Structure 1
Amino acid sequence: MTNDLSGPAGEGPAQAPGTAVSIVLVHGAFVDGSGWRAVYDILTARGHEVLVVQNPTITLEGDVAATERVIAMARYPVVLVGHSYGGAVVTAAGDDARVRAVAYIAGFAPDVGESVAALNEQPAEPEEAKAPLLPPQDGFLIVDPEKFPEAFASDVDTVTTRFMAAAQVPWGLEAVTAQATRVAWKTKPTHYLLATGDLMIPPSAQRRMAERMAARLVEIDSSHAVMLAHPEKVAAFIEDAVGSA
């Protein structure tokens, strides 16, 4: 079933006693956990425990380990949320017994034996675009800084996106090419927020992944940086995932 978040986001109730769930937020490539700040503020104000992972984005194995350490710190069962490449991370880390549900925000969702690189090789529709990456340097990728603001976050102010372009965290090729060995979406309730204006991961690819997972699919008119452009709606989407946990 496909829903949308085109209308105003609801306030969302705080968690009832005895039903508490911790929310763990996992960022993607080229950025760090600070991109979750607005979503974090909204969810914590509503009474949720929210933890934020800082991934090195050097190897997938290392990022999964970093996420599992944060899961272990949570006070309650976990709803695990991954943006972009963070989707590949939560696909594996979501196999943790403490994780009750997994949510993807415009994220990659590999199956066993698939890598992000393999998923990204699939063709886009004619009107779509993929991340404007520069050639690898010393085993790492970055987005062309001149094209970053439009490609990553066209609906976020350019003061912010120009800084993000200059402050990119290089993405290790070992993370890009690593094949998934654990796939949480086969056993956990799964949710997918599809960004229809995404110029980094084609919306058609997002739809294929969400449908393959039989995820609860929600669409939003947004760039790739959904959590920056629409934090209230992202928070509402996450709270719906919490309700399934």
Structure 2
Amino acid sequence: MKPAIVLVHGGFVDGSGWEGVHKILKKDGYEVTVVQNPTISLADDVAVTKRVIAAQPGPVVLVGHSYGGVVITEAGNDEKVAGLVYIAAFAPDKGESVNSLIKDPKPGAPVPPILPPQDGFLLLDKTKFAASFAADVKPETAAFMANSQVPWGVDALGGAVSQPAWSRFRGIPGI
């Protein structure tokens, strides 16, 4: 029995960004579910992801992109989770959050064009969105993504991991 694949999106976007991956995995015979996290707080996103995990009939592989890596690091402690996949994602340790991981970038490191918070939410500068966030997609797709951004809650960035799920898999050969 193949595990179910659960795809978890990052900040500023929704699950539709997983469409291409979803098609490939479905063609290969996997059951695939795309989580639609509200990205208001880490606790809310973990709760939504756990509901998706619970709905799967068997083992689950969680796949997270960007902030989705933080979500799977916390939600992946569920015993149904057989593996974690991080795609250009944060993989925080206990007590870490996106805020703590990005607070002191190295000199010259790329810094995302995050605009100042508005009512507790963040957006990326639309004019810099493609170069900073969607450089590997068609320009018209990147433009659409810039215009359909999902505001990312400041509380989500500050949500700290209580127990990193990846620690469950330490010492397993091949991991």
TM-score class, shorter: over 0.9
Q: What code does the residue aligned with 1:117 have?
A: N
Shift of 1:49: 0.7
User: Aligned partners of 1:124 and 1:52: how far apart in 2?
Assistant: 33
Residues 60-103 of structure 1, C-alpha deviations (whole Å, 9 max, x = no match):
00000000000011122001000000000000000001001111
Q: Show the counterpart of 1:96.
A: 78
* 1:143 paired residue number: 124
Q: Which letter does structure 2 place at the counterpart of 1:37? A: E
> Cα deviation per residue 1:105-129 (whole Å; 9 max; x = unaligned)?
1111111111110101132353x30
Q: For structure 2, list consecutive stretches of 5 or more residues without a partner in the other structure.
A: none
Instruction: State yes or no: 1:165 paired with 2:149.
Output: no
* CA displacement, residues 217-244 of structure 1 (integer Å, 9 cap, x when unaligned): xxxxxxxxxxxxxxxxxxxxxxxxxxxx
Aligned equivalent of 2:105: 123
Whether the 8 Å CA contact 1:100–1:189 is kept in 2: the answer is: no
1:57 alignment partner in structure 2? 39
Instruction: Return structure 1 stretches of 4+ with deviation > 6 angstroms.
Output: none
1:74 to 37, 51, 56: 56
Q: Distance in 1 between matches of 2:100 and 2:25?
A: 34
2:91 paired residue number: 109
* Deviation sequence 1:111-156 (CA, Å, 0-9, x none): 1111110101132353x30211001111011111110011111221
Per the alignment, in what secondary structure is the counterpart of residue 146 of structure 1? helix
Alignment partner of 1:36 is 2:18: yes
Across the aligned residues of Structure 1 and Structure 2, the Cα RMSD in angstroms comes to 1.6
Q: Contact (CA 8 Å) 1:101, 1:189: kept in 2 or not?
A: no
1:87 alignment counterpart: 69
Q: Distance in 2 between matches of 1:114 and 1:188?
A: 19
- Which AA in structure 1 matches 2:144? F
Aligned pair count reads: 173
SS in 1 for 2:166: helix
Q: Output one character per residue of 1:17-62: Cα deviation in whole Å (capped at 9) or x when no partner.
A: xx32111000000000011111111111111111110000001000
Structure 1 segments unaligned to the other structure (5+ residues): 1-18, 191-214, 217-245
Q: Under a length normalisation based on structure 1, what TM-score does the superposition of the two structures give?
A: 0.68
Which amino acid counterpart does residue 147 of structure 1 have in structure 2? K
Residue 189 (structure 1) shift: 6.3
Pairing 1:189-208 to 2, within 5 Å after superposition: none
User: 1:102·1:189 contact (CA, 8 Å) conserved in 2?
Assistant: no
Alpha carbons of 1:40 and 1:154: their partners in 2 closer, same or farther (altered >3 Å)? Answer: same
